[in-house]
Structure 1
Amino acid sequence: MPDRSARIVAAGLLAIVLHAAAVAPAAAGDADRQRPERFGIRLLEIHENRLDDPRSHAFIVDHVNPGTTFTRRLEVFSTSSQRQRVSLYPGAPGPAGNIALVNRVGVRTYLDVGPGGEPPTSFRIGEVTAGRTDAGQPRLVAEVRNTGERAVDLEGEVRLSEGPSELSAGPFRGTRATTLPPGGQGQVTVLLGHDLPAGPWNFRLTLRSGRVSRTATGTITFPEAGERAAADDDPSPPVLAACALAAVAAAALLVVNLRRFRRRPLDGEAA
């Protein structure tokens, strides 16, 4: 079995930084000021054994044995008409000399170095809660814990079915990914349609990180603005046991009362 203690898991950033000299450039014309300008960096090369991993299309995700070297091709682009000075580096050094940091973008890196196979990626969905934003838009919020040994970038999708008048809705997709380190926990929020009826609805929430996905189902009714309602999942074994005990106690009490009723003498009968 591989020695996990010898494993190094690194999560970093291969960043490109745009610097500006201390001397201000000449003022641009109105047309140049109105035109949106941006610069960026993107990954051009994906290892063939990770083509089915959505994270590998945006991030550098890999597992290598100690002493292994590899390369990745990147593209740096700018839509500005002016000449730009950029620096490419791993990590996040601060500004130096008379150069000021203006902006930074990067390609996230998840690199595992160690003997044996890749460490497991896993996460667990906890409570799912319905609510509304301050503007009244319906949303689902899921509590999630990273139970694996690699960071996860969680993206959510919600489908609704069997709503009022047998309506169905979705899929609704989250607009931002939630990143959790190993052992970390957080929330994943998915915004739904503004005009959805309150319910009740059956929901199916699917969360994905790369090749790994988990699903939670249940019944939900969206609250009024400012209120909060939890999803009605299947009852847990302790809840079922408590209900069974309560049913047995109620049945025993009913039998006792029936026996007392039968023994009570009627009017005109001898006691």
Structure 2
Amino acid sequence: MRLSIVSVIALLIGTIVAAPASAEPPIAAQDPPSGGAGVGIQLLEAPVSLVDDPRARIYIVDNLPPGTVIDRRVAVTNTSDAPTTVRLYPAAAEIGTDGFVFGNERTQNELSSWMSVTPSEVQLPPGQSAEAVVQVAVPPDATEGERYAVAWAEVDTPTPGGAIAARSRVGIRAYVSVGPGNGPPEEFSVSTITPSRAASGAPEVQIGIDNTGGRALDPSATVTLTGGPGGLSAQPTNGSGDSIAPGASGTLTVALDPALPDGPWTADVSVTSGRVSREGSASVTFPEAGTGTSAELATTRNGGVPFWVWILVAGFVAIAIGVAVTARRRTAGSGHRP
């Protein structure tokens, strides 16, 4: 059976661009652990299909069909100078106007009820670590949608008399979407930039972000100021914001150098969440105090399939066309009729 030029091109493009299946085994995740008050916890693996998603190396992020069970290894560390008992458990979380909000104590929700941590308790000498497994078992009748929870590591700090002086916990967030395929896409737009001054008098910019996709956002941003008074430019400054639920809007604030003059400046903005980035530019002038005038960001789209992939696609397409044309000329020269 002969393939037409169009068929060959379509086959090559599908081979290069196709994403890995979510059923593949996890890979190592080596980002720094979260910790504090004597205990730390770190995710040790992430899905292969999310290898280029920075969030998946820190949090439990996945899209799972109903009936799926996954395990994620975590490391728990006693960062105190005394032996301690660490309790491990899942609990509820949600995303609202205040970002990612944790439930009180061991409050449960739908996702946390699907989760378990084994073992549920570890005894650790000072500075020592142990592995545990966080399991997520999605029921066969689970409905589509994204859910949120936390896998917690909790310790008590006793007083010399034995009473509990403080209870501390650190955790790994879980963002689990239920549905077929790769799940709903992560998508957002950056709409406005607003110059302002903090209570200390330092300049800052507030970036308006609209979550137009089906997954929660954890945005971070880089702001670069150029074209300032006397041709001044400033070093790029980074900032991060609270989680933004699907369909909601939020603001990411980036604090800047207190020595910067009022402006005007050209502010180049790059906002990233997971594997998606958006860029924009606007003119801003910082007020003497409070909030200044908002400006619409002239945005450009970034993210999706990397540019180098399309270069490879173009190369393969050119080769495929050349092969097909050569074959056709040889067939015509031989007098063969199909």
Report the TM-score when normalising by structure 1: 0.67
TM-superposition CA deviations, 1:76-124 (whole Å, max 9, x none)? 01121222222211115169xx989711111001111222332111112
CA distance in 2, matches of 1:37, 1:130: 36
Q: Say whether residues 1:121 and 2:174 are aligned partners.
A: no
Partner of 1:222: 286
Q: What is the CA deviation profile of residues 118-145 of structure 1, one whole-angstrom value per residue up to 9, with x for unaligned ones?
A: 2111112222110111111110001222
Partner of 1:88: 88
User: 1:183 is matched by which residue type in structure 2?
Assistant: G
Q: Which residue of 2 aligns with 1:15?
A: none
1:1-271 counterparts in 2 under 5 A? 38-91=38-91, 92-93=105-106, 102-174=167-239, 176-226=240-290, 228-231=292-295
**Counterpart for residue 27 of structure 1:** none
Against the structure 1 CA distance between its residues 37 and 111, is the aligned structure 2 distance closer, same or farther, given a 3 Å change threshold? closer
Against the structure 1 CA distance between its residues 40 and 233, is the aligned structure 2 distance closer, same or farther, given a 3 Å change threshold?
closer
Contact 1:161 1:202 in 2 (8 A): yes
- For 1:126 and 1:134, the matched residues in 2 are separated by 25
8 Å CA contact 1:37–1:78 kept in 2: the answer is no
* CA distance 1:227–1:125, shift in 2 (3 Å): closer
Spell out structure 1 runs of 4+ moving beyond 3 A: 98-101
CA–CA separation in structure 2 for the residues paired with 1:118 and 1:227? 39
How big is the shift at 1:232? 6.2
Does the CA contact (< 8 Å) of 1:142 and 1:187 recur in 2? yes
- Which SS does the other structure have where 1:195 is aligned? coil
Residues 215, 245 of structure 2: 8 Å contact kept: yes
Three-state SS of the structure 1 residue aligned to 2:219 is strand
Shift of 1:47: 2.0
TM-score (norm 2): 0.54
- What's the RMSD between the two structures over aligned residues? 2.3
Distance in 1 separating the partners of 2:174 and 2:222 = 25
Other structure's SS at 1:180 match = coil
Retained in 2: the 8 A contact 1:46–1:57?
yes
Whole-angstrom distance in 2 between the partners of 1:105 and 1:57: 16
Moved more, 116-125 or 194-203: 116-125
Larger RCO, structure (CA 8 Å, separation 6 or more): 1
Structure 2: gaps (5+ residues): 1-35, 92-104, 108-153, 155-162, 299-338
1:37 shift after superposition: 5.2
SS at match of 1:170: coil
CA distance in 2, matches of 1:197, 1:156: 21
Q: Give yes or no for contact 2:189–2:209 (8 Å, CA) kept in 1.
A: yes
Cα gap change, 1:99/1:70 in structure 2, threshold over 3 Å: closer, same or farther? farther
Q: Name which one, 1 or 2, has greater alpha-carbon Rg.
A: 1
- Structure 1 distance, partners of 2:226, 2:193, is 16
One-letter code aligned to 2:287: P
3-state secondary structure, aligned to 2:235: strand
Paired AA for residue 54 in structure 1: P
Contact 2:213 2:246 in 1 (8 A): yes
Aligned residues: 196
3-state SS of 1:144 partner: strand
Q: Distance in 1 between matches of 2:295 and 2:168?
A: 42
3-state SS of 1:196 partner: coil
